[in-house]
Amino acid sequence: MDRLTWAMAVILIGTVVLMSWAGEAPVQGAPLIQDTSTPRPTPLPPTNTPVPTDTPVPPTNTPLPTDTPAPTATTAPTSTSAPSPTVRPTKEPQPPPAAPAPSAHLTLGLTAEPTAPAAGGKVIYRVLVTNDGNAPAEGVIVTCDVPAGMKVLKVTVDQGAARMEGQRVIAQLGSLGAGASTTIVIETQLKTSVGAGVPLSLTASATAEGGLSAISAPVVVQIPAVPSTGSGLMVVLLVIGLVLAAIVLIARGLQMTRPSR
């Protein structure tokens, strides 16, 4: 039994040695014994020899084809330009304002020269009548009541006619166009009965068709008062002095006529 075991072991070892020798140094033709159960590793080529590959590797700068990309959510494009101005609703054009209705308007200006005359001197009044409206003024009449301390010498007008009724001056000017003006001149003289410091006031008024009317500011004329110089007191003192001198002279004359003892 021991011999048989040793014999089988020798045969087995020899078989292994023969198989190893057949794998490392094969003869021409098919190998005598091939072990199909365990594949032998393929020897690696030298490191300096490039290993051929089945599929060439594309260069890194060439994009590889990819499959159809999956659809992504659509985002609103962002704009880096300036924001668009706010669009405001267009207003409907408004109709132009209606032109004012044509109408006339009267104004009066009154001056006097001089306003401080001498006693019995002359005073000249000027009345300026103006239509500052946008339509003619028809039937314009101006009246002035001259103070009783004055006498009216003459009245002149640029248009129309004038007349006197006592101390009232009436000027009928007729039509006065839009923006037009006219002047009335009244020449007066102070009466001798008017003393210094007495105020004399005159006012002009106007009327026209359509209910138009106007009035001027009053103008006051006054003779200046004569300032006191003290002459009355000087006269009184002079009289007193003369009386005293006369008394002294009489007293001396009486003394001289007395008889001496």
Q: What is the pLDDT of residues 19-53, one digit of tens each?
A: 766 555 444 444 444 454 555 555 555 555 554 55
Beta bridge mates, 216:
none
State which H helix or E strand residue 186 sits in: strand 181-190
pLDDT averaged over every residue in the chain: 79
Mean pLDDT: which of 226-230, 245-249, 256-260 is highest? 245-249
Other beta carbons less than 10 A from residue 151's beta carbon: 13
| In contact, 102 and 135? CB cutoff 8 Å | yes
Rounded Cα distance between 199 and 150, Å, is: 11
First vs last C-alpha separation in the chain: 236
Q: 106-216, what's its fold?
A: Immunoglobulin-like (2.60.40)
| In contact, 168 and 91? CB cutoff 8 Å | no
Rounded Cα distance between 36 and 19, Å, is: 12
Residue 237's pLDDT is 83
The 3-state DSSP composition of the chain as helix, strand, coil percent (nearest 5) reads 20, 30, 50
Rounded Cα distance between 260 and 29, Å, is: 222
Residue 23, amino acid: G
Domain boundaries in the chain?
1-39, 106-216
What's phi and psi for 15, nearest 5 deg? -60, -40
Structure confidence by residue, pLDDT tens digits, 50-67:
545 555 555 555 555 555
34 compared with 253, residue with greater pLDDT:
253
State which H helix or E strand residue 171 sits in: strand 168-176
Rounded Cα distance between 52 and 212, Å, is: 123
Beta bridge mates, 186:
125, 155
User: What does the longest C-alpha to C-alpha distance in the chain come to?
Assistant: 236
Residue 45's pLDDT is 52
Residue 110's pLDDT is 97
| In contact, 114 and 123? CB cutoff 8 Å | yes
66: left (phi over 0), alpha (psi -120 to 50) or beta: beta
